[in-house]
A and B are shown apart, each in its own frame.
Chain A
Amino acid sequence: MKIIVCIKQVPNTTEIKINPVTGTLIRDGVVSIMNPDDKGGLEEALKLKDRYNAHVTVITMGLPQADDILREAIAMGADRAILLTDRKLGGADTLATSNALAAALRQLEFDLIITGRQAIDGDTAQVGPQIAEHLDLPQVTYLENLEYDGKNTFTIKKSTEDGYQILEVDAPCVVTVLASANKARYMSVRGIVETYSREVEIWSFDKLGIAEEKVGLKGSPTKVHKAFTRGVKAAGEMFEVDAEEAVGIIMSKLKEKYII
């Protein structure tokens, strides 16, 4: 079985602050990490490697420093790593990103494509499903658990807002995985030692065989008009009561707003 995992390097948003004046992210000194949902997806692939000897390729589109997360993936156990990097691919929205990734994926063999559900920097959850559409493949999003019959069929537990669904899907297909699906393994020390002598393939725009209008800023219909931090809307209500009464008030307020 051949698996391709699409991963993304993101700023660690738990540490990030927003410049209140310009509304942009303050990226200085913020560590970049492998997007958590993608890491959950990589773990899903590596479990299939452990059990069924699957071949795992990781691919990312990004700046040259995204090399870091590809090497991290190798140190965790990935077999092959590809970095799509080119100025022509820069400034891409989700559509342009999925166009570029789909163009790359068309050149690779796969039975299963895994992406994270969404990236913690953009939170769109669009790239995975768009890839499936471009490649005309069945897709299952919000994967919580995956079972493989060893032949051609996956049984997937898909998380939904109020529960879950169990779906069966045949390879080849696309799944988007939640970080909570797996506790991702640590890189092994040996993996860390070896990863810097392994090859990360660099693919430029020319390798993709796609029109320039489909990728990068040119291929991005989404334009960010303005980014801002949402202020506190109201002062809120203050109650000075004991704990028991406070519980009663909170419960009735939640019911009033149909939250529970």
Chain B
Amino acid sequence: MIRDFAEKEVKPLAAEIDEQERFPLETVEKMAKTGIMGIPIPVQYGGAGGDNIMYSIAVEELSRVCATTGVIVSAHTSLCLAPVLEHGSEEQKQKYVPGLASGECIGAFGLTEPNAGTDASAQQTTAVADGDTWILNGNKIFITNAGYAQVYVIFAMTDKSQGVKGISAFIVEKGTPGFTFGKKELKMGIRGSATAELIFENCIIPKENLLGRVGGGFAIAMKTLDGGRIGIASQALGIAQGAMDEAVKYVKERKQFGKALGKFQNTQFQLADLETKIQASRLLVRNAAFKKDNHIPYSDAAAMCKLFAAETAMEVTTKAVQFHGGYGYTREYPVERMMRDAKITEIYEGTSEVQRMVIASTLLK
């Protein structure tokens, strides 16, 4: 179903939204209608009642034709729906999850700041308790779905003296006075996805919008990113598969020196290596999703699948452009877009270096 949907509804827009740097709201509406915006969410909260393996397959299939669409779903599901569902109070879940899971609302996540990237503990955004409210001040950058999302999970320092234990998580709704959007980033890839700055200037939110407990924010962020990595690894896997499909099609058709490129052993050996890495990525991604579904610790599995799938996506897309030669460098073929899209998977939701840190720290614990 998802492949059919991706081919018919998503693929036709992929080049256009990239070219125009346009957020595909119409696609989000269609995804909402079929239940793609709430796949691993229980039916009682308005979701599809699926699991993380299904969710991973869906992000892969969407990203196979359009990485922008893949990340919209991934950020919405893994970074906003998941923390509210896992750490929210029953009231918060009742209030926010059904709207998000049905796709009526889009979700986003705000952790990164100008001086808190890989070192996410260096949060400068503050939240100060004031009677029945919290007052937020600070800036978040590179926020996926910014502007289009109605619900934001935001991290802020509530007690600087406590270090990472002084970070708390909050739910902030679009339209709250004092909450505005800054500049939209002009990006190399995933250009249809909205990436912008969030600005909080004396933004007052109700006390009950604290997510989890005071000081529990950093743990929520790390746990959320563990789950998010499965989503991004699925996106990377989809990009790699999409580029592979294009490469295979092209080398069968393109003739040089009197024979198809695919008849040259150099081509065949490269394709074989790439395909093997794609399959390995897929198994790593499904393994992490399986562990998450079965409540087995999966932090390292998520880091490994993200690391390997992202680097595989970069390699496959780069080589897919090379197979296409000069044509691959033009926008006539989708592989140049896929190569630009692939790069971000090595950076966001933890760079490849961070993934290596996570994997090593599990080993050396």
- Interface residue B58 (Cβ < 8 Å from any Cβ of A): yes
Give the interface of A toward B (CB within 8 A): 75, 186-194
Q: Is the CB of B50 within 8 A of A186?
A: no
Contact across chains for B50 and A189 when beta carbons are under 8 A apart: yes
The closest CB in chain A to the CB of B37 belongs to A189
CA–CA, A188 and B47, complex, Å = 11
Is the beta-carbon distance between A193 and B1 smaller than 8 angstroms?
no
A192 surroundings in chain B (CB, below 8 A): 1, 48, 50, 54
Pick the most buried of A189, A191, A192, A194: most chain B CB atoms within 10 A of its CB: A189
Instruction: Assess whether A186 is in contact with B34, with CB atoms less than 8 Å apart.
Output: yes
Docked Cα-Cα span, A197 to B59, in Å, equals: 24
B4 touches A190 (CB 8 A): no
7 nearest CB pairs, A to B: A189-B35, A189-B48, A190-B48, A187-B1, A188-B35, A193-B49, A186-B34
**How many residues of chain B have a CB within 8 Å of chain A?**
15
Most A-side CB within 10 Å, residue of B35, B39, B50: B35
A76 (CB) vs chain B CBs: closest residue:
B1
A189 CB contacts on chain B under 8 angstroms: 1, 34-36, 38-39, 48, 50, 54, 58
Evaluate contact between B34 and A193: CB separation under 8 angstroms. no
Chain A residues whose CB sits within 8 angstroms of the CB of B35 once the complex forms: 188-191
Q: List 30 A-B contacts (CB under 8 A).
A: A186-B1, A186-B4, A186-B5, A186-B34, A187-B1, A187-B34, A188-B34, A188-B35, A188-B48, A189-B1, A189-B34, A189-B35, A189-B36, A189-B38, A189-B39, A189-B48, A189-B50, A189-B58, A190-B35, A190-B43, A190-B47, A190-B49, A190-B50, A191-B35, A192-B48, A193-B48, A193-B49, A193-B50, A193-B54, A194-B49
* Cα–Cα distance between A75 and B2 once the two chains are bound (Å): 13
User: Which residues of chain A are within 8 angstroms of B54 by Cβ–Cβ distance?
Assistant: 189, 192-193
**Distance in angstroms between the alpha carbons of A192 and B54 in the assembled complex:** 10
Q: How far is the CB of B245 from chain A (nearest CB, A)?
A: 16
Q: Which residues of chain B are within 8 angstroms of A193 by Cβ–Cβ distance?
A: 48-50, 54
User: Which B residues form the contact surface with A (CB < 8 A)?
Assistant: 1, 4-5, 34-36, 38-39, 43, 47-50, 54, 58
A42 to chain B, nearest CB (A): 14
Rounded to whole Å, the gap between the CB of A175 and the closest CB of chain B is 26
Chain B residues with CB under 8 Å of A186's CB are 1, 4-5, 34
How far, in Å, is A216 (CB) from chain B's closest CB?
Answer: 34
Q: Looking across the interface, which residue of chain A has its beta carbon closest to that of B5? A: A186
**Interchain CA distance A191-B43 in the complex, whole Å:** 11
- Once bound together, how far apart are the Cα atoms of A186 and B2, in whole Å? 9
Complex Cα spacing A127 to B93, Å? 51
> Please, which residues of chain A bring their CB within 8 A of the CB of B36?
189
Question: For B58, what are the chain A residues with a Cβ–Cβ distance below 8 Å?
Answer: 189
What is the CA–CA distance of A75 and B35 in the complex, to the nearest angstrom?
12
Q: Which residue of A lies closest to B31 (CB)?
A: A189
New A-B contacts (6) at CB < 8 Å, excluding given A75-B1, A190-B50 = A186-B4, A187-B1, A190-B49, A192-B1, A192-B48, A193-B49
With both beta carbons as reference points, the residue of chain B lying nearest to A72 in the complex is identified as B1
A155 to chain B, nearest CB (A): 28
B50 cross-chain contacts in A, Cβ below 8 A:
189-190, 192-193
Note all chain A residues with C-beta closer than 8 A to B1: 75, 186-187, 189, 192
- CA distance in complex: A192, B5 (Å): 14
Cα distance A194–B50 in the bound complex, in angstroms: 9
Please name the residue on chain B nearest to A187 by beta carbon: B1
A188 to B1: give the CA distance in the assembly, Å.
8
User: Which of A187, A188, A191, A192: most chain B Cβ within 10 A?
Assistant: A192
* Complex CA–CA separation, A194 to B34 (angstroms): 14
Residues of chain B within 8 A of A194, CB atoms compared = 49
Q: How far is the CA of A186 from the CA of B34 in the complex (A)?
A: 7
CB distance from A222 to the nearest CB of B (A): 34
- B2: nearest residue on chain A (CB-CB)? A189
Q: Which residues of A contact B34 (CB under 8 A)?
A: 186-189
Q: Which residues of A contact B47 (CB under 8 A)?
A: 190
Residues in A with CB closer than 8 Å to B4 are: 186
Contacts of A187 in B (CB 8 A): 1, 34
In the complex the two chains form, what is the Cα distance from A75 to B49 in whole Å?
13
Interfacial chain B residues near A191, Cβ < 8 Å: 35
Give B4's nearest chain A residue, CB to CB.
A186
Considering the chains assembled together, what is the distance between the CA atoms of A193 and B49 in angstroms?
7
> What residues of A have a CB within 8 angstroms of the CB of B48 in the complex?
188-190, 192-193
Tell me the minimal C-beta distance from B28 to chain A in angstroms. 15
A192-B35 Cα distance, complex, nearest whole Å: 10
Chain B: CB-nearest residue to A75: B1
User: In the complex, what distance in Å separates the CA atom of A186 from the CA atom of B43?
Assistant: 19
Measured CB to CB, the nearest residue on chain B to A183 is B8
Which single residue of chain A is at the shortest CB-CB distance from B55? A189
Provide the bound-state CA to CA distance between A190 and B44, in Å.
Answer: 12
Question: How far apart are B249's CB and chain A's nearest CB, in angstroms?
Answer: 15
